[in-house]
Structure 1
């Protein structure tokens, strides 16, 4: 009996499926909130995964004459130009101390991506509904426009920072002086 290549592949599939190990199902509660954790100044913040496009090292930045001081300039990532914003300076009026290994959060806004400098990246955090706390001091000052909820975890309080709201703020969208 002559077997076709298709018959041979079908036989391989049948035999491999017969020996496949079924992995246990991983369940995450519907009350779980997950996001990217970082620090801006002294505030520990988290933003939802669906608001962060990617996290990359800060690219070389070309200054833009006549721009707000919090607009560091224009960066290039894989051939795409985007503004690089000093988030700490935008929110607190203090310049972020840039260092080797500096990371930026890339967010999407209408018209293209924007990179935001952060002081420190902590990685992924997950919180249950029972960890919700009042934002308190995390929402003081200009942060109050973007932080409306918070969680307690790892001995810290984490303010949920709405990056999508930041991207729609008129002052943020008009960086010219």
Structure 2
């Protein structure tokens, strides 16, 4: 007698055998792809592997005694995680929250973290020929997180390292 899992596995195998494949879209090996967003006036991109999910702003419960940039704790599908005002952390200016606000969910040691952004642009792809000097975008607190940049869509995009952000001691210490 077969288990329900075996039956479902068989269904999957048979359906995939008959699935129509979409034509493969060839991208060169020297194409960089990521998620585009805006913090303040800076357009930034982060690698797909660093962004776990993009969600609407969850309800937030404040945490007493926390840094001002820690907005509180959010709950999504029963998972609790800190919600960080990334603009306040980087620029010292609070993000103006609005209806339709989005957060990037990034993974860090100990659990996921939600980061507020000003605007979401979605997927961005850049060829190596679009690489530019990152110095103009990597000023102030951004200098530690941006070491690459591209020009595309009539704008400059700094490659923002979320993994480097997660390892920053100040970011990891949210107690005031």
Distance 1:25 1:62 in 2: 45
Unaligned runs of at least 5 residues, structure 2: 1-13
CA drift of 1:23 comes to 5.1
User: 4+ residue runs of structure 1 moved beyond 4 angstroms?
Assistant: 20-23
CA drift of 1:136 comes to 2.3
CA drift of 1:28 comes to 1.1
SS in 2 for 1:81: strand
CA drift of 1:35 comes to 0.4
SS in 2 for 1:44: strand
CA drift of 1:24 comes to 3.8
In the alignment, which residue of structure 2 is the partner of 1:54?
53
Q: How does 1:39-118 map to 2 (within 5 A)?
A: 39-118=38-117
In the alignment, which residue of structure 2 is the partner of 1:176?
175
Distance 2:60 2:49 in 1: 26
Unaligned runs of at least 5 residues, structure 1: 1-12
Distance 2:59 2:24 in 1: 44
Larger Rg: 1
SS in 2 for 1:136: coil
How many pairs align?
161
TM-score normalised by length of structure 2: 0.88
TM-score normalised by length of structure 1: 0.87
